[in-house]
Amino acid sequence: MRRLRPPLLLPLMAVLAGCSGIQTIGGREGRDAALINDLFTIFCIVTGIFFAAIMAFLFAAYWRRRGWRADRMPDEEVVPSRHRALRLGLFVWMGAVIGGLMALAVASFFTDRSLAFPNPGRKPVVSIELTGYQWWWDAKYHFQDASKDFRTANALHIPLGAVTMIYLKSNDVIHSFWVPNLAGKQDLIPGHVNDIVLVPAKAGHYRGQCAEYCGLQHAHMALDIVVDSPADYARWLAAQTQPSATPTDPRALAGYNYFMRRQCSACHTVAGTPAGGQVAPDLTHVASRATIAAGTLPNTSGSLYAWIADPQGIKPGNNMPYLGLNADELHAVVAYLETLK
Ligand SMILES: [Cu+2]
């Protein structure tokens, strides 16, 4: 076989480089993702074998008839043994086709059945209501004791060893929930509740991405998913259910006052304060998140300054307006947000 030359090798390497990491269709860190990947592998193998066989027949036929011309055709003698061989070959081929199709059907059936029963082991269930907004994710964690419910945004923590039920809603247009390392895709549809089940198999940090074009900033609508060990998850839950404390540091306190008295609080909620806006990400524990603006920027002081100074420069068209803070106000508000651990 001819060796792959570099110009062919490079794109191949680029494609395969996409097969590992925090957002990959080759991921097997969730039960559904592993099941779907296994089915995909079976389909590739079966269809690959048939493709190779058909190509082989095609080339064999071409090879045999090289230089064939109608006017030079000799009278062919009918050789009975060749007829028998051809008939046998035809039956073998039909058997192979039927067998191959049956293998695909049976494999699809069992994958489908397994996906339909996500919790045969009766594991504990975590329940999250996830609402898509242009262009961020609002999450409400629900508990049997509703007084423990809390809200967060753009980042989900879920525990290993449990089944997470996510109820998907949309506030505006159709979005799609897609965390390929963990599971398949499911749409978020206005006026309709969909659901998807996550059964993580490995702790780690994964990336989700809205997978249904939803307007200008669709590409900047990502979601951090952290699969925690049960102990880490319990710690995270305990921290999230705490309301925020009023800051004591003077600069952060000035930021708190600005936040509560000016526009910020009309859109954003900070639990335990007068800020109760419902149309923007909950900021109660914003400092504990890895990214801001739905995965657009890493959550650093620099990013917070950049975002609050000019949200439209970073994510043009998004629903947080330019607010014209002066330098002191900006320093103060960022200092306040950084206390929201
Ligand atoms: Cu989208």
Tell me the per-residue pLDDT of 184-207, one tens digit each, with 9 for 90 and over.
999 999 999 999 999 999 999 999
Q: Which of 57-61, 97-101, 116-120, 297-301 has the lowest mean pLDDT?
A: 116-120
Inter-residue contact 295 to 207 (CB < 8 Å): yes
pLDDT bin (cut points 50, 70, 90) of residue 304 is very high
> What is the value of pTM for the model shown?
0.87
> Is the predicted pLDDT of residue 3 greater than 80, yes or no?
no
pLDDT bin (cut points 50, 70, 90) of residue 334 is very high
The number of helices, as runs of H, and strands, as runs of E, in the chain is 9, 12
What is the Å distance from ligand 1's center to 208 Cα?
11
Which residues, in sequence order, are CB contacts of 230 under 8 Å at separation 6+? Answer: 159, 160, 161, 162
Distance from C-alpha of 152 to C-alpha of 257, rounded to nearest angstrom: 22
* 4-32 residue pLDDT tens: 555 556 555 555 555 578 999 888 999 99
What is the Å distance from ligand 1's center to 200 Cα?
24
Q: Which of 78-87, 95-104, 138-147, 283-292 has the lowest mean pLDDT?
A: 78-87
Q: What is the mean pLDDT of the chain?
A: 91
What is the Å distance from ligand 1's center to 44 Cα?
29
Q: What is the mean pLDDT of residues 28-57?
A: 95
Report every protein residue that has its C-beta within 5 angstroms of ion ligand 1.
175, 210, 214, 218, 221
pLDDT bin (cut points 50, 70, 90) of residue 1 is very low
Nearest to 31 by CA among 158, 130, 131: 158
